[in-house]
């Protein structure tokens, strides 16, 4: 074995060892181009070794055809890999064209020794016992040169562009890509070793393997997605289950089978329907996900654990092929959420109870004030309670008329507010002198004028009391009831002499209850009227004193009102 043979033999063995190291480092997320490179380099080095051992032209031609696998395909896949590492996407049409061109060139390489397309001729020369070969290149060799230069230029361009514009590509990896690319370029187009038959390109290929092993090492560090996936998988805390679009079972990991023991009964490529329990679980999840892809998370209880089931489409080469289920133990989070929810629920109940207590205390205080005022007026005992009840009876009838309710924008909140505000309609009497309020007879004109002041005074009192309340709607209703319940539709009422619908609706309703109670109740200055007498006066006053629109509700409620007064 001469020195040249030994040298190429060492290079071949080194390339095989480096490829075996790569196989040991191999990760399922490595680019397929990377694997092809480490596969092709030992084949090319075998060609160089065979060329050194060739004893005749035929053997040498065979070795050339093996070496040209590197020239045609190795540089091609190196270029693809550079673009991949630089995060620059080549269109499929471009990669397809490049593969086609390289394949066509290699088809002409295979004609060496038979046709003059790639080598016009190849003849052996013997000098001092050393055999060399004189080659006359054909037209396709020129095409090969053009393709080779194009691939090199594409690689250099991608590396330079990535260095300048791609902030998320490792600088270290870019340098490791650049070094073997430069070495290979000058090895191919530069001179051979002086007075030797050794191709520098053979050395460049092995050197490239060393650089690419460093790149493989850094890929495992820099690829955070793959690193995270490995951690999740190795820890065994995450389950994975796959189905195709026909819901045939494709596989699962051990963790998933621990969570769903029924998976042990399924056969790969067989339908999910073979397991009734799994069908009842997974089919509703898949159906909901298909109808709305945002509905991709579900919970599954197994034993004392709570699992989060995350469903996604399973992709290959950018095309969805089925469903991927990722199952994680979410017990700790769910128990914490449950604890927070319980705390918030208890807190909400406590706040609600305290709020209700405050509102109740507030309402009772106002009612107590109204009763205190009424206790000073010895002519109206029980008036505030009765009028409040009559207002409720009227409102029950009003709420039945959907058209009236809609046209007057009456809500359930309004109904509650006017019933709650009714007892406060005479609260302004607190400002009326006792001598007038307790007078056991009819008022003089002057006394009556003073008595009429209770309406605006009541609105002022309520405005002051309710000033800090957050219930703005109740505040408005209460003030209006106190202020305007003595107004008349024809404008002859007090204190403002408002006409028609200028009188707030709540005051118009209150007026009916207030007058009716005054008519059928005994006062110090009069006896109570019969229901028939009171009804006659009420009906005669419709459209004058009272709102004619409310007449139908008064008539509908009349029987219930009479029954109420008979019980009172």
CATH code of residue 300: 3.30.450.20
3-state secondary structure of 275: coil
Q: Are residues 386 and 508 in the same domain?
A: yes
Tens digits of per-residue pLDDT, 145-187? Answer: 899 889 989 988 988 888 888 766 677 778 888 888 888 777 7
* Spatial CA neighbour of 65 closest among 49, 79, 44: 44
* Spatial CA neighbour of 475 closest among 455, 454, 460, 456: 460
- Round to whole Å and give the CA distance between 515 and 510: 9
Q: Are residues 388 and 536 in the same domain?
A: yes
Q: Are residues 437 and 524 in the same domain?
A: yes
Tens digits of per-residue pLDDT, 95-131? Answer: 999 999 999 999 999 999 888 999 888 888 776 666 7
Domain end among 190, 223, 256: 223
- Domain assignment present for residue 231? The answer is no
Please give, one letter per residue, the 3-state secondary structure of 65-96: HHHHHHHHHHHHHHHHHHHHHCCCCCCHHHHH
- Round to whole Å and give the CA distance between 411 and 251: 59
How many domains does the structure of the chain reveal? 3
* Spatial CA neighbour of 37 closest among 167, 222, 177, 237: 177
DSSP 245: T
CA-CA distances (angstroms) from residue 105 to 58, 186, 526? Answer: 21, 22, 124
- Domain assignment present for residue 359? The answer is no
- Domain assignment present for residue 361? The answer is no
Domain end among 296, 329, 362: 329
Determine which helix (DSSP H) or strand (DSSP E) holds 3, and give its type and residue range: helix 3-25
- Is the pTM here over 0.75, yes or no? no
- Helix then strand then coil, in percent of the chain rounded to 5, is 65, 10, 25
3-state secondary structure of 54: coil
Domain end among 199, 223, 247: 223
- Domain assignment present for residue 348? The answer is no
Q: Which residues pair with 239 in a beta bridge?
A: 327
Contacts for 378 with CB less than 8 Å, ≥ 6 apart = 438, 440, 524
- Domain assignment present for residue 135? The answer is yes
DSSP 247: -
Q: Is 350 exposed, middle or buried (0-12, 13-18, 19+ CB in 10 A)?
A: exposed
Give the pLDDT of residue 544: 95
Q: Are residues 209 and 261 in the same domain?
A: no
- Domain assignment present for residue 335? The answer is no
CATH of the domain at 155: 1.20.1070
Note down the domain range covering 427. 372-567
- Domain assignment present for residue 343? The answer is no
CATH of the domain at 520: 1.10.3210.10
CA-CA distances (angstroms) from residue 402 to 233, 366, 396, 504? Answer: 64, 32, 12, 20
Neighbours of 478 (CB within 10 A): 29
Q: Are residues 201 and 244 in the same domain?
A: no
8 Å CB contact between 4 and 27: no
- Domain assignment present for residue 58? The answer is yes
Q: Are residues 388 and 457 in the same domain?
A: yes
Q: Are residues 453 and 554 in the same domain?
A: yes
- Round to whole Å and give the CA distance between 476 and 417: 9
Q: Are residues 49 and 131 in the same domain?
A: yes
* Spatial CA neighbour of 34 closest among 88, 89, 2, 78: 78
Place of tokens 């309004």: 414
Q: What are 422's two structure tokens?
A: 């009714």
Q: What are 22's two structure tokens?
A: 């790569």
8 Å CB contact between 101 and 145: no
Q: Are residues 212 and 252 in the same domain?
A: no
What Rg, from alpha-carbon coordinates, does the chain have?
49
Q: Are residues 391 and 514 in the same domain?
A: yes
Cis peptide before 495 (omega within 30 of 0): yes
Q: What are 298's two structure tokens?
A: 């579900």
Count the residues in the chain: 568
Q: What are 548's two structure tokens?
A: 């004619």
DSSP 431: G
pLDDT truncated to tens, each residue of the chain (568 aa)? 677 888 889 999 999 999 999 888 776 667 788 888 889 999 999 998 998 888 888 888 999 999 888 888 888 888 898 888 888 888 989 999 999 999 999 999 999 988 899 988 888 877 666 677 788 889 998 999 899 889 989 988 988 888 888 766 677 778 888 888 888 777 776 644 434 457 788 888 888 888 888 887 776 655 544 544 554 555 457 888 989 998 988 888 888 888 999 988 888 888 888 888 899 999 999 999 999 988 899 999 888 888 999 999 988 667 888 899 999 888 888 888 778 877 777 788 887 787 677 667 666 766 676 666 666 555 555 788 889 999 999 999 999 999 999 999 999 999 999 999 998 888 888 888 877 777 777 778 888 888 889 899 989 988 888 887 778 898 999 999 999 999 999 999 999 999 999 999 999 999 999 999 989 988 766 788 999 999 999 999 999 999 999 999 999 999 999 999 888 6
Torsion on CA atoms 247, 249, 253, 258, rounded to nearest 10: 90
- Round to whole Å and give the CA distance between 76 and 68: 12
8 Å CB contact between 204 and 184: yes
Q: Are residues 240 and 169 in the same domain?
A: no
CA-CA distances (angstroms) from residue 431 to 132, 452, 455? Answer: 130, 11, 10
Give the pLDDT of residue 193: 43
Give the pLDDT of residue 167: 66
Q: Are residues 134 and 260 in the same domain?
A: no
């Amino acid at each position: 074995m001469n020195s040249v043979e030994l040298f190429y033999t060492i290079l071949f063995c080194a390339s095989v060892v480096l490829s075996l190291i790569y196989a040991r480092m191999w990760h399922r997320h490595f680019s397929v181009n990377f694997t092809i490179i480490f596969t092709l380099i030992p084949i090319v080095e075998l060609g160089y070794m065979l060329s050194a051992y060739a004893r005749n032209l035929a053997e040498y031609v065979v070795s050339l055809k093996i070496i040209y696998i590197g020239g045609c395909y190795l540089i091609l896949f190196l270029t693809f890999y550079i673009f991949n590492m630089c995060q620059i996407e080549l269109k499929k049409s471009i990669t397809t064209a490049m593969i086609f061109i390289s394949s066509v060139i290699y088809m002409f390489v295979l004609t060496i020794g038979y046709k003059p397309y790639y080598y016009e001729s190849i003849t052996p020369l013997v000098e001092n016992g050393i055999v060399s070969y004189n080659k006359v290149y054909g037209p396709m060799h020129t095409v090969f040169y053009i393709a080779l230069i194009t691939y090199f230029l594409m690689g250099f361009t991608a590396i330079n562009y990535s260095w300048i514009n791609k902030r998320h590509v490792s600088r270290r990896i870019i340098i490791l890509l650049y070094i073997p690319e430069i070495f290979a370029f000058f090895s191919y187009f530069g001179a051979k070793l002086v007075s030797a038959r050794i191709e520098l390109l053979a050395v460049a290929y092995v050197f490239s393997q060393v650089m690419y092993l460093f790149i493989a090492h850094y890929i495992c560090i820099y690829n955070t997605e793959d690193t995270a996936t490995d951690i999740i998988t190795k820890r065994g805390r995450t389950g994975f289950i796959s189905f195709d679009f026909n819901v045939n079972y494709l596989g699962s990991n051990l963790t998933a089978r621990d969570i769903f023991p029924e998976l042990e009964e399924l056969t790969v490529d067989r339908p999910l329907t073979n397991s009734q329990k799994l069908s009842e679980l997974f089919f509703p999840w898949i159906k909901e996900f298909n109808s709305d892809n945002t509905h991709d998370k579900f919970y599954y209880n197994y034993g004392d654990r709570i699992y989060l089931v995350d469903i996604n489409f399973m992709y290959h080469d950018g095309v969805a092929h089925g469903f991927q289920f990722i199952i994680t133990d979410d017990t700790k989070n769910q128990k914490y959420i449950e604890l927070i929810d319980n705390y918030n629920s208890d807190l909400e109940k406590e706040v609600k109870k305290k709020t209700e207590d405050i509102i109740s205390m507030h309402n009772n205080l106002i009612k107590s004030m109204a009763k205190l005022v009424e206790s000073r007026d010895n002519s109206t005992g029980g008036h505030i309670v009765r009028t409040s009840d009559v207002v409720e009876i009227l409102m029950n009838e009003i709420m039945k008329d959907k058209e009236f309710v809609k046209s007057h924008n009456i809500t359930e909140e309004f109904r509650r507010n006017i019933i709650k505000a009714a007892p406060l309609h005479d609260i302004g009497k607190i400002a009326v002198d006792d001598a007038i309020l307790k007078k056991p007879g009819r008022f003089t004109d002057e006394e009556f004028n003073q008595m009429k002041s209770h309406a605006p005074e009541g609105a002022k009192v309520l405005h002051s009391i309710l000033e800090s309340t957050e219930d703005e709607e109740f505040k408005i209703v209460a003030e209006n009831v106190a202020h305007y319940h003595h107004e008349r539709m024809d404008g002859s009422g007090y204190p403002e002499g408002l006409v028609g619908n200028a009188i707030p609706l709540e005051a118009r309703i209150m007026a009916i209850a207030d007058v009716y109670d005054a008519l059928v109740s005994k006062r110090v200055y009069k006896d109570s009227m019969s229901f028939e007498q009171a009804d006659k006066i009420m009906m005669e006053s419709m459209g004058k004193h009272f709102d004619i629109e409310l007449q139908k509700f008064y008539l509908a409620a009349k029987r219930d009102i009479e029954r109420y007064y008979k019980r009172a």
